[in-house]
Structure 1
Amino acid sequence: MSSVPPRSSVPPSRPWDVHRLPSAVGRSFLITGGNAGIGYFVAEQLAGTGALVVLGSRDREKAAAAMASIRSRVPGARLRAIPLDLADLASVRTVADGLGLDRLDAVVHNAGVALDDPPRRTTKDGHELMFGVNHLGHVALTRALAPVLSAAPAARIVTVGSFAARSERLDPDDLQSGRDYRPGRAYGRSKLAQMSFAFELDRRLRAAGSTVLSVVAHPGGALDSLTPPRAGVHVASRGTRLRGLPAGLLLQGKDRGAWPIVRAVLDPYVQGGQLWGPRAFGLRGTPRLEPARAHMTDPAVAGRLWDASCDGAGVELHLGLL
């Protein structure tokens, strides 16, 4: 039986201490892109709970450096790394084989690509790079992990969204920006696709009577210049840090940007279909529940996105598996 309270129970305003996280001994979590940025700090914070934390990374050396950094701050941290290239769908579909776990309590869909300049680039499978990595790769990963997620008593699929998705809209007829490619817009749309798919996933999981939850969280405005250094992972020059100080009035570092994501993984009162973000204007601060915007949860758009995503990822996402 699951120990997670009913969806309608304790209100989301209950106290949550980002510096005193609940124990997660005996549980296991996978973070995609756990070797850098937001993903690194999610891994570091979850490692302090006693859970087994698995870092999915394309680069073995970077994953090793991240684990060394975490162990220097969290003595006795239980860590592993697995190769994961979300731009290669064939390799994603076999990732569960290398995981070596009977069950997985949560996966954090965090890894992503953000391009600043043209030209439009594609993955090995021919998909627009940001849509392919940020979204389709995680769709394929969800299918690959379905058996181990369903084996946990109340697993969570936590999708890391972005503030950038607020101002974008999906074009179901041009999801991969084949027309009028603009990198910033393509990135925002890829994150919106992730979020819209995650909300639709939870609706379908609930309809199927699944105990797996799909939750969305975003880091707000998280800058490298406001992020504390981590040996072998992140080092910002003194000048960069000083130049970033004024931005600290509105934004925050990636360590704090990890807070809503960590809560989405750990808080027993988090419910499926929720959106968690920073408290102050959605940009900085401790995590809070926030309303999802209508364009993120539109069921008609999400239905078309679902079909296109499963087709693009080359999977059939049977919710009976979850």
Structure 2
Amino acid sequence: MPVTQEQATWFADAFDKLVGNVDQAILGKNHVIRLVVMAMLSEGHVLLEDFPGTGKTVLAKALANTIDGTNSRIQFTPDLLPSDVTGVTIYDQGKGIFEFHKGPIFSSVVLADEINRASPKTQSALLEVMEEGVVTVDGVGHSVGSPFMVIATQNPVEQAGTYSLPEAQLDRFLIKTSLGYPDHETSVTLLLDSSNRARASRISPIIASASVVSMAQLASEVYTDAAVMGYVSEIVSATRTHKDVALGVSMRGALALARAAKTWALAAGRTYVTPDDIRDLAVPVLAHRIIVDPEAEFTGARADDIVSRILVDIEPPVYRAA
């Protein structure tokens, strides 16, 4: 069923309120917050590559509080086991039955802190739940419910003792972005309020979790013209044939961009996707899915720059009035 203009206006207003509420805890990062909220409403996950102390944990807690959901934080370490993430089945002698004890993955917003410090075996425990929203333990599937979102973090500096995320797992993240350090004015504001060490806990819910699910469903019904989808396909194909790329964007990446663009368009109060929506999201959605050729990387080639250059080279479709 096509999205009406009235629904689009309501969605855009609700989206702005969600962003504004989270912005009370994370000052001066409006664009990043919009990307993260977009990812949540697109039923996707976020990878944050950032330095310590930039507010990643605060962001996750503030988002969970805003949607009246639950929040958990998993500190990934080399000795972390898959069962520490998903949960474990334990035999109850009193009842004479096996009972499943849920792990921290069963939350609305899960912060996977320094995910690349865990072993590949533990990292792989997230693959199924991020894709299907289900955790399988001892052959039994357990739904994590909706909404469900993983915000994973990586430290771009300390690489000793880390395990790079495999391509299959990177592909599970809808976007990759970073908060970065605050500007001077925001820094002064935070310093003046330094006695407040629990900014996220002061964030009050403004929407029910069930409404988040409804918003995500509405976003999935936004109209997208075949010419715009052709534009997405051209961009993705160009990443696979680029001279500096060893591995381009998969079909999952193309679908992710299309899904994200629908939410982004609706957040702007439109009932249809434009090429500008694709251009706005191409770098955060596609760049982390690209593996740059080692020789090209040695000479300074970066995935972000490759995607940006492809956007310059490919002519977007032009909308004509009917």
TM-score (norm. length: structure 1): 0.33
Q: Which has the larger radius of gyration?
A: 2
Larger relative contact order (CA 8 Å, sep ≥ 6): 2
Q: Which has the higher helix share?
A: 2
